[in-house]
Amino acid sequence: MSVIKVKVPASSANIGPGFDSIGMALNLYNIFSFEEIDRGLEIIGSLEDKKAKDHLVYSSMVKVFERVGYFPKGIKIKIEASIPISRGLGSSASCILAGVIGANKMAGSPLTQEEIFKIATEIEGHPDNIAPALFGGFVSSLMEGEKIYYNKIDISKGLKFIAIIPDFTLSTRRAREVLPRVISHREAVENVSRLALLISALSNGRFDLLRPALKDKLHQPYRGELIEGFTALMDKIYDLGALGGYLSGAGPTIMAMIKEEDFGFIKEIKAYLESISLGWDVKELEMDLEGAQIVEKP
Ligand code: HSE
């Protein structure tokens, strides 16, 4: 039987003050292959230590099959993963999207791109990773009851993104548990102002505004506490000339935005991490503009 191959980019959500509402796709990919087989469920290269039926890719496929009324006899899933798990780089969103896109294709493509977006967002619970991973680029999104709005934003050229990836995981569930239920009106105004400043600065290339624009009162101060040395590392990336820094998604990855022509930053941040005995991974990334793709047609 024919194989359906789906390639999904990593994504970095929240981006400073944009908690649950903005994200961008990055050029790091998970590749998923799907095949309808005679019976059973086979998962090769699993990203999760879970029983096959509870696997996020498979459970996302089942949601689509139930919705469209297609019932395959058996499924084989192969995963070639490059996106690190539970690090704030959209590994879960990639699994959900791949499952939804793969199942839709298997069922003869009855769903539109908008329906794929809606189902995947319902499974994830928030759209800020799903939207960029599906559509590519930098995407803002809003959930209003049943409706989800999104808009792709052109951001000025001239930036590179350096992901500083800790050697430990942080589950989104735990990272959401530490968030406050209520914040003050003044803090809300501050976040709205910073988000407006951030979007405008990224749009017209005022990269000098990124540092104040990327501060946040909704999640970073609380989640930063879960990451030893977070504040010192944020200070360090600015010392080394970064234009901006923020906690990627639910963390623990810290993302530095640097000038395209800054060739020294990576070496220096690696040397710093070594000097404090942290064997964390550092990846230089660019924005992915394509989003999720079916790469091999049967
Ligand atoms: N916006 C989400 C959060 C991203 O910060 O919890 C992680 O799934």
Q: Is the pLDDT of residue 1 over 70?
A: no
The pLDDT tens digits for 68-80 are 999 999 999 999 9
To the nearest whole number, what is the mean pLDDT of the chain? Answer: 94
* pLDDT of amino acid 295: 92
Q: How far apart are CA 272 and CA 39, in angstroms?
A: 52
Listed residue (284, 217, 290, 289) closest to 247, CA to CA = 217
Q: How confident is the model at residue 49 (pLDDT cuts 50, 70, 90)?
A: low
Query: Could you tell me the distance, in angstroms and rounded to a whole number, from the CA of residue 101 to the centre of ligand 1?
Result: 22
Q: Which helix (H) or strand (E) holds 5?
A: strand 3-13
Average pLDDT over residues 285-296: 94
Q: How far apart are CA 133 and CA 41, in angstroms?
A: 26
Cβ 216 under 6 angstroms from ligand 1? no
Q: Contact 94/133 with Cβ under 8 angstroms? A: yes
The pLDDT tens digits for 173-192 are 999 999 999 999 999 999 99
First to last CA, the chain: 9
Look up the pTM and report it: 0.94
Cβ 12 under 6 angstroms from ligand 1? no
- Indicate the top mutation candidate among 128, 222, 227 to test ligand 1's pocket, ranked by most ligand atoms within 8 A of CB: 128
User: What is Dmax (Cα atoms) for the chain?
Assistant: 60
* pLDDT of amino acid 278: 87
